[in-house]
Homo-oligomer: A and B are copies of this chain.
Amino acid sequence: MAELSAASNTTVPTIKYYLREGLLHPGVRTSATQSQYDESHVGRLRLVRAMLDVGGLSVARTAEVLSCMEDPSRSLLSMLGTTQASVTVSAADEEALGGRPGSHEVDELIRRRGWRVSARAAAREIAGDVFASYSALGNTDIAVVIDQWADAAEIAAEADMQAVLARGNRSDMVETVVVGTVLGDVLIGALRRLAQEHLANKYFPETGSPL
């Protein structure tokens, strides 16, 4: 276990905790005090850390995703959907859909793009909430940008799918969804700001006099 700890950069008490909670499969016992761990344990620890530390999932939710990952009766699509939903915080999971402010605009957008998505997707609610916030500010900018933002989202999602497809097995695919979705949000936001700065320099070349 000391070697597994060093190889995975995870403390021994943390490894014992994951073993107790069923997040990590036991090693092969070789003596009363020793067990043999292998690459599968290092890989699983990396996945568990990604779900807990990067994805911000609870231990219970992590166990749920892992068991769904290992259930051979769950299709790949349903497994990836569960994983994505786990890293998509919904403000109002329990509320009825459809009557929420902003949901009409989101429905219209989805129809316009021909996107095939579940009526209960948490991301629909989040998008509807953003529309409602824009309207509450009396702000109409969103109509100017929404279709281009959807173009951008589609390009990002296309890259995401290629990254998932490039992974060889279910556990690596789950890791790609968790890490790519959560870190991707932050990185795409940072890249958007850098691109904004670049375009601002392009559109508003400094002339010495204020515009």
Binding site for B on A (CB under 8 A): 46, 49-50, 54, 72-77, 80-81, 84, 88, 110, 113, 115-118, 121-124, 126-127, 130-131, 133-134, 137-139, 141-142, 144-146, 148-163, 165-167, 175-176, 179-181, 183-204, 206, 209-211
Contact = CB atoms under 8 A, between A and B. Distances in A.
Given A73-B210, A139-B179, A204-B77, A197 B84 contact: yes
Contacts of A160: 145, 192, 196, 199
A160 B148 CA distance: 9
A130 B50 contact: no
Given A134-B183, A145-B184, A153-B195, A206 B175 contact: no
A77 B115 contact: no
A202 B114 CA distance: 11
Interface of A is mostly: helix
A133 B165 contact: no
A80 B127 CA distance: 26
Contacts of A84: 193, 196-197
The list of the 9 closest CB pairs from A to B, nearest first, reads: A148-B159, A153-B191, A157-B195, A123-B193, A76-B211, A115-B198, A152-B156, A145-B159, A152-B152
A126 B210 CA distance: 30
Nearest to A199: B161
B189 A185 contact: yes
A192 B49 contact: no
